[in-house]
Structure 1
Amino acid sequence: MNQINDLNDLRLFAEVVEHGSFTAAARGLGVQTSKLSRRVRALEEELGVRLLNRTSRSLSLTETGRRFYQHCLALVAESKAAKDFVDQTRSKPQGTIRISCPVGLLTSGISAMIAQYLQDNPHVQVLVDATNRRVDVVEEGFDFAIRVRLPPLESTDLAVRQLGLSVHMLVASPELVARYPVPDSIESLKEWPTLSMASNSERFVWNLVDAEGGITSWTHQPRLATDDLASLRLAALQGIGAALLPREFVEADIQAGGLLHLLPNLATTPGLIHAIFPTRRGMVPAVRQLLDALVAGFEALNQKW
């Protein structure tokens, strides 16, 4: 594609025309007159036309130069508009944010946090890819992706910010509890039907930690296994089986009496809810403040518990 080698020469040419002389333009730009003259001359040579009529006392545009000058003014105006846009995005939250988030996290509180953020920032648009797959933040153009992992987090070249903690708790419906003896240990659940997150190995193990930090592992065969937390929650509410679900996902059901917390002295090792993003440098206010809002949202949830 044919184009001018250095678009900055168009701005320099426009400055010369605007000031009426190379000397005045050079003074305004803070460059040497000779350098400015060479740049404009090189532009004319590149274009293969004369843009300016020069005499020792005056400077005037050729007809081609006059029309070319109008295009240069339009380019300078667009350049200024582009910079103004970037300056605005850096000064206050606005623009579009693209994020990825697991479905279960969205329904367990993050959707409400995003909705509140949008209410507080009317000039921001958030596009959420609700998926349980592991996305490539850089290749797919996300501002950040939200993940949950057990500590320690894996090494990565991406920037990471912790948002909160996710603890799973054992729950069952009152109807299911009424049909079985109330468990006093994980082993006493052996007669209970269970529900579980999917496992590639088709081996289903619950690892629970007591108040002293002791770990109890229990292998079971669930009636339903899926990577969709919403399906597990619905099955638990309907009494299909006991389930190990994120606290933030079932807290409202426990408060309403739809689910009961079994073995409250046991819980999972807290998972780290975190955001990964390409870099901290140059992060626009809209993205930075959304991350801040998510951190504050999880802090509020933790205070409730």
Structure 2
Amino acid sequence: MDQITDLNDLRIFAEVVEHGSFTAAARTLGTQTSKLSRRVRALEEELQVRLLNRTSRSLSLTETGRQFYQHCLAVVAESQAAKDIVDQTRTKPQGTVRISCPVALLSSGVSGIISRYIDENPQVQVLVDATNRRVDVVEEGLDFAVRVRLPPLENTDLTVRHLGLSIHILVASPELAARHPAPSSVESLKDWSTLAMASNSGRFAWNLVDTSEKAISWAHQPRLATDDLATLRLAAMQGVGVALLPREFIGDDVQAGRLLHLLPDLATPPGLVHAVFATRRGMVPAVRYLLDALVAGFEAFNEKWYSGR
């Protein structure tokens, strides 16, 4: 025998010993006396040892039964402790949350939302895989993955929660803007130096839409190309060139006047920021509240952006 077939039999045995009779234990457990007697008898047969001395009036432990009872108490206590941990994680945010998020999106404000969430929930640990690769939420043991996609979203077996929208806007430093006439169209930026995200093809183009959702694509040759948003932001503020950056990433810079929003009628098509996860069923508060914090964070940014314009 490798292990006891049904660990519930250990609890039943411990209850019988604690209450001193099958009848009293059955009353506590809400079951029949005969059922408990059969379960303990089956346990003895499985172990091939007698645990209880039975008479018509009393029960007593054998020496082996006494030692076995002590271990049963430990198992019951550990079982209760395990249940208590689960109950706690279901009532308040605590424990570890594992997520993945694209690097650019983290830089665009998600990292700040996560930091505030951790500060407000000191019993929660958040492990973030900052990656642009497509992750497998189930296989990699993630609670959820944050993604940005242009609509419509693809069909998937995963559950999706919408978090917000992400768009990119054209910005430049006041110093750079002062050296050129105010642009009236994207084509009028042909005499401006530009910045861009890195491209494997070596070709660079801004794909934009206007307020009527007309698509506009404009090719350019940037003075600086990199996949690091922080570098592009700094270069833009230093007047190196015009940059197309996530609105939520440089919103504070625009409102503070460190960057100017050029051609406000143009922007990239809005990307749907969303979280994907296996199921809502059994989701613990630490995960659910972090998702709520991300939704609230995007809503707060939009309110701040539009109120400041």
User: Is TM > 0.5 for Structure 1 vs Structure 2?
Assistant: yes
Counterparts of 1:8 and 1:152, CA distance in 2:
50
Counterparts of 1:138 and 1:223, CA distance in 2:
42
Q: Is the contact between residue 98 and residue 127 of structure 2 (CA under 8 Å) also seen in structure 1?
A: yes
Matches within 5 A, 1:213-252: 213-252=213-252
Q: Compare 89-98 and 106-115 and name the one that shifted more.
A: 106-115
Counterparts of 2:157 and 2:284, CA distance in 1:
20
How far 1:275 moved relative to its partner?
A: 1.2
2:264 maps to: 264
In the alignment, structure 1 residue 120 sits paired with structure 2 residue 120: yes
Counterparts of 1:209 and 1:89, CA distance in 2:
45
How far 1:287 moved relative to its partner?
A: 1.2
The Cα RMSD (Å) is 1.8
Give the 3-state SS of the residue equivalent to 1:221 in structure 2: coil
Structure 2: stretches of 5+ with no match in the other structure: none
1:168-199 C-alpha deviation (Å, 9 max, x unpaired):
10112233334444321111223333222233
Matches within 5 A, 1:122-201: 122-201=122-201
Counterparts of 2:252 and 2:227, CA distance in 1:
21
Q: Residue 172 of structure 1 aligns to which amino acid in structure 2? A: A
Instruction: Report % sequence identity.
Output: 79
Give the 3-state SS of the residue equivalent to 2:301 in structure 1: helix
Counterparts of 1:242 and 1:47, CA distance in 2:
78
How far 1:133 moved relative to its partner?
A: 2.6
Q: Residue 237 of structure 1 aligns to which amino acid in structure 2? A: M
2:295 maps to: 295
Counterparts of 1:199 and 1:13, CA distance in 2:
69
Q: Is the contact between residue 174 and residue 260 of structure 1 (CA under 8 Å) also seen in structure 2?
A: yes
Counterparts of 1:136 and 1:205, CA distance in 2:
31
In the alignment, structure 1 residue 206 sits paired with structure 2 residue 225: no
Q: Is the contact between residue 99 and residue 127 of structure 1 (CA under 8 Å) also seen in structure 2?
A: yes
Q: Is the contact between residue 137 and residue 145 of structure 2 (CA under 8 Å) also seen in structure 1?
A: yes
Counterparts of 1:67 and 1:36, CA distance in 2:
20
1:214-267 C-alpha deviation (Å, 9 max, x unpaired):
111112233333332222212222333211111111112222332221111111
Q: Is the contact between residue 107 and residue 229 of structure 2 (CA under 8 Å) also seen in structure 1?
A: no
2:100 maps to: 100
1:68 maps to: 68
1:26 maps to: 26
Q: Is the contact between residue 104 and residue 230 of structure 1 (CA under 8 Å) also seen in structure 2?
A: no
